[in-house]
Chains A and B, each alone.
Chain A
Amino acid sequence: MSNKARDLCNARVAGRISRREFGKRIAALGIGAAAADGLLQASYTRAMAASFDWMKYKGTTVKLLLNKHPYADAMIADLDAFRTLTGMDVKYDIFPEDVYFDKVTAALSSRSSQYDAFMTGAYQTWQYGPAGWLVDMNEYLHDAEKTAPDYDFEDMLPNLRASDSWSGVPGAPLGGAGAKQWAIPWGFELYSISYNRNIFDRLKITPPENLPDLIEKATKITKDAGGPYGVGVRGSRSWATIHPGFLSGYTNYGAHDFTVADGKLKSAVDSAESKAFHELWVKMIQEAGPKNWATYTWYQVGQDLGAGASGMIYDADILGYFMNGAGNKEAGHIGYAPIAPNPEAKDPTSNIWIWSLALSNFSNAKDAAWYFIQWATSKQHDMFGARKKDLVDPVRASVWADKVFQDRISGSYPGYLETYQATAPDAKIYFTPQPLFFNVTTEWAAALQRMVAKEVAVSEGLDQLAATINRELRDAGIG
């Protein structure tokens, strides 16, 4: 790299010149866009190294446990930058999602030191944290010796920071008093409508604005689109069925999972609001969902949209993004729209899933692993993933504000950014944090399956579900 190009990159990293100015001047030096990006990335790495002793654990190897996901792919693609910055090495095992959390549970419950850090969701930390398997990241975040001065944790979206932070007291709010930072947000997703524009145009319908409207339009697609069914949502007997569009709509109808009184939890799935919402949701699946809905996971919901087998999905915004990319039959035909399911609600209330990085309490290289987590959740890596890879719901406000990222998304995925902006303000975890999360949501999914199959009426099914949940809470001493 010539001195001029290096100075130019340094000036850009220091914020002394604008992106436009940088582009103009680097082009004048005869350096192409791809090469300029590489030079700029190297300058970011040098800038990080200059302000903090990133080489402190040089020669150490960190072992990661990863889930197969585009966010993990983005991180793996940038690992050389970490190696250059720290002199450390990174090894990882990567597993598909349907077995990933079993592997995590097996590794942590056996107190294995095999993995230093791993991917997790916030819900999992409600089990792993109280079990004593995770390190409270506050001890690192508040230690200037261990955390780079430009890390800027506050730059992460507040609801995400809070979502990975909990006191361990069942029912206590996320991010509340005495909360421990069990994990650091890394990439996330929120829930909105992704739809097949061709089908919608052909049937002359617009994206649904609320749940009754969605049912009507999805039913029309099932009847008139000549093959595709109306709306794809998850349905397997798993917690994963409850947390996406389902809980977002449930919350929008004013329903809650629990009431908390005197430190004790009581199921609220039998409330009037819950029953009203369930009636509609069940009707939606019966009239316009996939025939084998009860086996549907994230993969089937996405595949059907990408293959043109469904008219729309009410699921993760990033799932709609991935299905709009190359390799899918409907690539380039997917549109995005926010939804407030309750006709009386003004705004969406999307639940969120946050892929986060957690530090194993059984690691023999905790400090070194924290360096890795710090780098993987830094502005620099978040920016890399957002601009160049598919880390398309980044966790940092500064990355969302980045013009290059915005232009990239707006250019290739029209409507994605606007949908995010309309959905994000109230997007957060709407579950009440408690360690029986997986018991409750798996039972909930099973009950939903019985309602959709007409084995039990909605109202009766929810009364039974509430009784089951309350019994489990009592057995565990929290209800």
Chain B
Amino acid sequence: MNDTSVIQTRGLTKYFGRQPAVYELNLEVPRGCVFAFLGRNGSGKTTTIRMLMGLAQPTRGTGTIFGCNIEALTPEIRARIGYLTEEHQLYGWMNVTESGAFQAEFFPRWNDRIFRGIAGHFGLKPTAKVKDLSRGERAGLCLALTLAPEPELLMLDDPGLGLDPVARRSLVESMIFLTRKSDRTIFFSSHHLSDVERVADYIAVLDRSVLRACCPLEKFQESVQQVRMQFSGAPPVLPKIPGLLQAVRTENELRVTCAHYNGQTESILRSLSPLTMETVPLGLEEAFISYLGERGEKTFILSELEAQP
């Protein structure tokens, strides 16, 4: 194993019945980075995280966290990992203080100052019952419980799920504040690409159970490019383009999005003799949507429909 890798998987696979939820996942997460794990619903993100945390058994393949087999994580290794589940479930009958006290019993490096700080940041009353907390408050309490043990690795499964923008912003800020101070690693899944864009160093993208991208965030944004071409008439038939993600044609315009846009791609597109040809900058969200959206050519035929009697 690479010494700088906190998480490493080899051929990690999980089947539910006959369907693979995660297929042959090979992943390495360097120490000290913020690693975003992206994908559409059902792509296998949560299953992967649960496998990494030893909560779901892989059908085959192996994985390690801090060099320890994920199927036999020792208490010492668990003490170094903070895990935040997506539904922010806690014991409803406990109050905020009791939740902290319960968690503190187990973690040797429990930092009550951090716990109280985050709880205060989210405006949590110490005597408030967990079942009476709002979703955002519960998320804040979960984050406090996850961060107070001062873990070296944070595994966050869609921490912003269901939160309003304010609560989500608080969560992200807390995350950034605490993790940037030290050599901590954050591995998190999210659908909020603006959050990802703000904090992530690396991203990995799962598409229908298969890992399709794993690279620095900037590299992903560089690799996914969109080119807009104007034609005098109907756009010509598109030749085979390596790495084509999407091609959308209208009456006299063709927009082509592809991965690994390079000189060869550009020369192919220029051979179509467009009137104009320009590269459109894509944000992470557009790049991501293009990357995981429907592949192939699409034609908008709205004008043809309007022309019909």
Co-assembled chains A and B: no
Which residues from chain B sit less than 8 Å from chain A, CB to CB? none
Which residues from chain A sit less than 8 Å from chain B, CB to CB? none
